[in-house]
Chains A and B, each alone.
Chain A
């Protein structure tokens, strides 16, 4: 029989009542008064033409500030959500917070002083954090080494495996669609073309292959030329492509990068000059190709002539990975969150071009920024258009940095390293924001959600973790894989996350 507690004493009752009363009138305690608010653009650090406003404290919630800023910028009919960072702090104001409770009450600022709020535009859509495993699909006979979603939508995903095949999956039903056989070695790199119709794959057998993504049939024969395994692939941006002649760049351990005509099946030219394993290649949206290598340098090439433009040096050891601020736009070209595909070729081109320009324009000019991760435990941020000197050097990791990625809106950098941490940096000046600690093994990869509000990371500790980038806290912990997770991709429309690893199962996660 359960023990019955005695009824609460008079004192206990009084205390309860006190607490309840205090909790009740928390909402009404915003006093009269006002604060002066100055809005500063986070990307440029300047106020521009915006006036310093006096805002009543009782009205100064994040929602109202957002409306106010949109009014000031004459965007009232087409509002953009903003995120406000008080005085350059790392953590932004929450959506339901207000200035009084977040800043004035804890004593961070006094009500008389001027509050500087850095604003950063956010995506107009919102991606929900993935929280459950929608499907765990067996099929591959060996470790899964590369995964990529189609840029069109999240229903198709391609995965490359150690069993020498590529598989295309239907993520709506969790079933295999095609098995692409042809490689004679492990498939190390998989890449969808920006329009989503072609897939390129590169393998340990030194061969690049081109596939039709809808039928799963090879296009042309194997592209031979490399003398060592392929490390990464990068498609020519859609707005630069000659219609019907898309090109793809492949980097290899043999120190060269080859530019292939994907349809014609011929090598256009080879970029030789690196003295070691080329670890990563990225085709920029301004007609430049960026490569990183084990010879400690990053080289910038002209995509039209194949000549070397710059050599960026500064790293003290291998350069493991590089990321462009426009990566996600170039990957998705004319596919955006509205999911409307322009009907004609010209409109597609125009849309891809305008999306690229919108993503890369800072202060009226097109700036493509570059971040590199290195074996010397540091990262560098470059603006290769203007200077061969780095903008900043980001230190803090205690072991080799494996991968770096830009958020789709180009404001945040995420780096993952063998020291079990993911670190978040400001992409404008390289300022350290957060260290995301929860993984207990080396973190292999990270992937941003399309709205830049969330980040997924996969690790040797067999888990995938989803992080909230506003607070730098863990949002979801997704165990499920039975062995280390090598590959991870968040679909460009934000619906699903695909992952694969040494347990030979592709897992699809969704909210």
Chain B
């Protein structure tokens, strides 16, 4: 038992005072008077603090009232007869008006559309090119025009990748910052498994980063889930599935992702 719940403990053991309910009722009844007295008589800092507290309470109250009012609005047409005569079998149906049905259908469609593109991390901070690339100034020619860049963030390169000849390699992806695996969490099952990455699908900061395979927070990657044994509706084993990176790999030294299901 937490140490601070001594009152509850006492009440469990001995029961409440006999006049508990009445005292409570009276306190509640006095509340308005008390508030009014405080508002009129407090002075100085205490008055300021009280006024601030009261203001916040009032905002909350108004919000609540508005919420209640909204709930009371009838969503469908009232049971009153419509102006157009209808046969007996159509009379008692709580017919949503056509406009209403249409608008709700559109809203639903919009929601669905949004849901299709919704990901766990919808917005990420953009990464500028200055931050991403460092200019390489080794060698005479390279130094002169400074056209060679090194990527300073973790990257994924495919398994069959070979570097291009030095003369043509514009972007260098350092070996130490390459990742092949990600710790992927299945949100429904609440399990985390280390899975091999198949490809980088989208880096939200810049389409060029997608091409280069930069792994930053919010990047969508495709992972190999054949170990998980997921099955499609058609009873086929799923092997590639999308996941979104949830941590900052350059800070953490590991890749955590959440599976998009």
Q: Chain A residues in contact with chain B, CB under 8 A?
A: 142-143, 145-146, 161-163, 186, 188-189, 204, 229, 231-232, 253, 277, 279, 294, 320-321, 402-403, 444, 486-487, 502
Contact = CB atoms under 8 A, between A and B. Distances in A.
A226 B85 CA distance: 20
Interface string B90-114: 1110000000000000000000000
A162 B89 contact: no
Contact of B87 (A163, A294, A487): A487
Contacts of A204: 81, 85
A467 B85 CA distance: 29
Contacts of B89: 279, 320-321, 402-403, 444
B92 A145 contact: no
B85 A294 contact: no
A255 to B, nearest CB: 12
A442 to B, nearest CB: 9
B88 A294 contact: no
13 contacts: A142-B84, A146-B88, A162-B84, A162-B85, A186-B85, A188-B91, A189-B88, A232-B88, A277-B92, A279-B88, A320-B89, A321-B89, A502-B84
A68 to B, nearest CB: 46
Contacts of B92: 253, 277, 294
User: 8 closest Cβ contacts across the A-B interface?
Assistant: A162-B85, A186-B85, A143-B85, A145-B87, A486-B87, A188-B88, A231-B88, A142-B85
Interface in B182-230: none
A229 B87 contact: no
B233 interface: no
B91 A143 contact: no
By secondary structure, the B interface counts as: loop
Interface of B: 81, 84-92
Contacts of B84: 142-143, 162, 502
Contacts of B91: 188, 229
Contacts of A486: 86-87, 90
Given A277-B92, A294-B92, A188 B81 contact: no
Contacts of A162: 84-85
B85 A146 contact: no
- Between B84, B86, B88, B90, the greatest number of chain A beta carbons within 10 A of the residue's beta carbon is seen for B88
A279 B87 CA distance: 12
A143 B86 contact: yes
B207 to A, nearest CB: 46
A146 B81 contact: no
Contacts of A279: 88-89
B91 to A, nearest CB: 7
A143 B91 CA distance: 13
Given A204-B81, A444-B87, A444-B89, 12 more contacts: A143-B86, A145-B85, A162-B84, A163-B85, A186-B85, A188-B88, A204-B85, A229-B88, A320-B89, A486-B86, A486-B87, A502-B84
A163 B85 CA distance: 8
A427 to B, nearest CB: 22
Nearest to A500: B87
Contact of B88 (A142, A145, A161): A145
A246 to B, nearest CB: 23
A31 B87 CA distance: 58
A506 to B, nearest CB: 14
A297 B247 CA distance: 60
A172 B115 CA distance: 62
A256 to B, nearest CB: 16
Contacts of B86: 143, 145, 486
Nearest to A142: B85
Contacts of B85: 142-143, 145, 161-163, 186, 204
Contacts of B81: 204
Nearest to A321: B89
Which residue, B86, B89, B90, has most C-beta atoms of chain A within 10 A?
A: B89
